[in-house]
Amino acid sequence: MRPCHELIAYLNEPTAQARLRQLYGEDVEAARMRIEAAIKRYQTLFGRPDSHAVTVFSSPGRTEIGGNHTDHQHGRVLAASVNLDMLAIAAPSDSSSVLVHSEGFPPLHLDLNGELSPQEAEAGRPEALIRGVAAAMKERGFSVRGFEAYITSDVLTGSGLSSSAAFEVLIGTILSTFYCDGAISPEELATIGRYAENVFFKKPCGLMDQIACAVGGTVAIDFCDITAPVVTKVDYDFAQSGHVLCIIDSGADHADLTEAYAAIPAEMSAVAEALGHCFLREVDEAQFLRELPCLRQLVGDRAVLRSMHFFADNQRVNAQVDALFADDFGRFLELVNESGKSSGLYLQNLTEGTDPKRQEVLLAICRAESLLKGRGAVRVHGGGFAGTIQAFVPMDMIDAFKEEMEALLGAGCCHTVHIRPEGGCVLFRE
């Protein structure tokens, strides 16, 4: 760890600047200023002098590029970490006490020598994630003690960039670095994070978000064996593609959508069960097609259509990976567009349906397509129904595209991001 004043000075050195450029892109000065401000805020909150030593941690948000609603059926996904991240200034403590100040939230305090079982009162709160990560690490035989941290984040809440997974990976990386010599692999940190979210935070989720945040870069994930997903790094330089990746907030309200989200895996699983299996990944597509007349009667047309989307999008992930490895970005964009059309027509997760006057996601996609004029690509991002869309926009169109999308949906709705090569990590320590 470095003393605060030395670390602030080091941020101006070429080696530090190169590190910042690696994770945050060309706007190095903005990244430097953000970290310096975070260090000073840490000192103020915890009353620490300039000589106090700290470590800087970073955990990225993630974007789903391919495989919309395929993971819960043990399918394939293509995902990537992005330059929007959670940043922590942290130091180990001499006790089992954890004290976390997160920008914009009340301070969190808990004792890791206390109860490490799920607490009903903490469900849905960040304390549950810290407690859950610590519990999972202890169960695996790792040493866990306390720490203090100031956390600031530009991972957009409700954006589909998965702020909860970024937080879980951040806490796991802090504990692994301070007390386990960094020995916990990214894949295991991802598993620990999902356990904390499922069991302690009480939110059902798969493993895609945590893997993408922990491993970093672009990753193809195959969930055929859910206990041991196969993670393949896809080393493609999106910065050289001639396109900018945009995440656009449609402005749709997430409230009361639990039933709509839950219906997708439930209906897909109903099709699988009708064919003698638990998940669609176990079903032979040819058998599925032969049994269509019977399945329509058993589970209904929407469940059948959603299953058709699964089979197509699951295969599309492989085709996307092949296109990137072959440096065929044009074909990759075609596949992104195909995935978007499939989500709208078959998966049917663009509109919720209870208020036909509110169709923000579909409107955002329609406007983006008209602005792109047959170039680039656009699709729903993440779970759908509300939240965000994703667009690959040609560089020569990005200024006009952003201006027009924000004129429709509101200032600040269009966020340009880039894919960073590293997941949860120590940004600066020695």
| Residue at token pair 């100040």 | 101
Give me the sign of the Cα torsion angle 270, 271, 274, 280. Answer: negative
pLDDT for 158 equals 60
pLDDT for 6 equals 95
| 380 Rama class: left (phi>0) / alpha (psi -120 to 50) / beta | beta
Tell me how far apart the terminal alpha carbons of the chain are, to the nearest angstrom. Answer: 5
pLDDT for 274 equals 97
pLDDT for 159 equals 56
Per-residue confidence in pLDDT tens, the chain, 430 aa: 889 999 999 999 999 999 999 999 888 999 999 999 999 999 999 999 999 999 999 999 999 999 999 999 999 999 999 999 999 999 999 899 999 999 988 999 999 887 788 888 888 899 999 999 999 999 999 989 999 999 999 887 665 667 889 999 999 999 999 999 999 999 999 999 999 999 999 887 778 889 999 999 999 999 999 888 999 999 999 989 999 999 999 987 666 777 888 899 999 999 999 999 999 999 999 999 999 999 999 999 999 999 999 999 999 999 999 999 999 999 999 999 999 999 999 999 998 766 778 899 999 999 999 999 999 999 999 888 888 899 999 999 999 999 999 999 999 999 999 999 999 999 998 6
Alpha-carbon dihedral of residues 199, 88, 38, 80, nearest 10 degrees? -90
Instruction: For residue 86, list its beta bridge partners.
Output: 59, 153
What tokens does 335 get? 């596949």
pLDDT for 255 equals 62
pLDDT for 422 equals 94
pLDDT for 382 equals 83
Q: What is the rounded distance in angstroms from the CA atom of residue 95 to the CA atom of residue 213? A: 29
Q: What is the rounded distance in angstroms from the CA atom of residue 15 to the CA atom of residue 17? A: 5
pLDDT for 160 equals 63
Task: Please give the CATH number for the structural domain made up of 2-62+79-213+421-428.
Answer: 3.30.230.10
Backbone φ and ψ for 355, nearest 5 degrees, come out as -130, 95
Question: 10 Å Cβ neighbour count for 187?
Answer: 16
In Å, what is the CA distance from 75 to each residue of 80, 120, 126, 403?
17, 32, 29, 37
Kindly list the domain boundaries of the chain, sorted by start residue. 2-62+79-213+421-428
